[in-house]
């Protein structure tokens, strides 16, 4: 189902296209959460912060290549969701477990599994602009306000 996408939806879809264009052969998929600070969605790092992989935030001009570089199965940073400040459009957190609250509204997942359901539920949280998933087969889905706002298959 496609609803009228916002500017943020178009921007994150463009980012996913860029990631797909340079994704490594062992691409494991990617999840992204765009938020307006301060972050209200419960998250926790999936990796130790003692050994940071890179200095954050990363501005939009280097974000796609960096995300692609950590999205291979061989990278310890490939799992979870990566968080983007939607105002500055900069990457602020990588490899985060996202604890999206269960909705009292009935949600319907059209495609995918746990990563897609997490993105759908997280998109309903106050302060979350949109969420996105790029699957290993090149299917990009962007969620906004509990709905799939845009879906595209990259090939």
Domain spans of the chain?
7-153
- DSSP symbol at 45: E
Look up the pTM and report it. Answer: 0.90
Residue 72, pLDDT > 80, answer yes
Quick one: pLDDT at residue 70?
95
Q: What are phi and psi of 77, to 5 degrees?
A: -105, 10
More confident residue, 64 or 50: 64
Residue for token digits 């972050």? 39
Q: Which CATH number fits domain 7-153: 2.60.40.420, 3.40.1700.10, 3.40.50.300, 3.40.920.10?
A: 3.40.1700.10
Give per-residue pLDDT as tens, 11-49. Answer: 999 999 999 999 999 999 999 999 999 999 999 999 866
**Contact (CB, 8 A) for 40 and 125:** yes
């Amino acid at each position: 189902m496609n609803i009228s996408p916002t500017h943020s939806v178009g921007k994150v879809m463009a980012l996913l296209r860029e990631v797909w264009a340079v994704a490594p052969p062992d691409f494991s998929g990617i999840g992204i959460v765009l938020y307006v600070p301060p972050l209200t969605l419960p998250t926790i790092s999936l990796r130790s912060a003692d050994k940071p992989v890179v200095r954050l935030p990363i501005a939009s001009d280097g974000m796609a290549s960096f995300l692609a570089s950590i999205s291979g199965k061989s990278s310890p940073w490939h799992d979870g969701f990566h968080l983007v400040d939607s105002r500055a459009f900069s990457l602020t957190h990588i490899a985060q477990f996202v604890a999206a609250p269960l909705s009292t509204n009935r949600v319907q997942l059209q495609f995918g599994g746990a990563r897609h359901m997490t993105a759908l539920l997280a998109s309903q949280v106050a302060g979350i602009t949109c969420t996105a998933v790029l699957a290993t087969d090149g299917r990009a889905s962007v969620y906004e306000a509990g709905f799939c706002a845009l879906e595209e298959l990259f090939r």
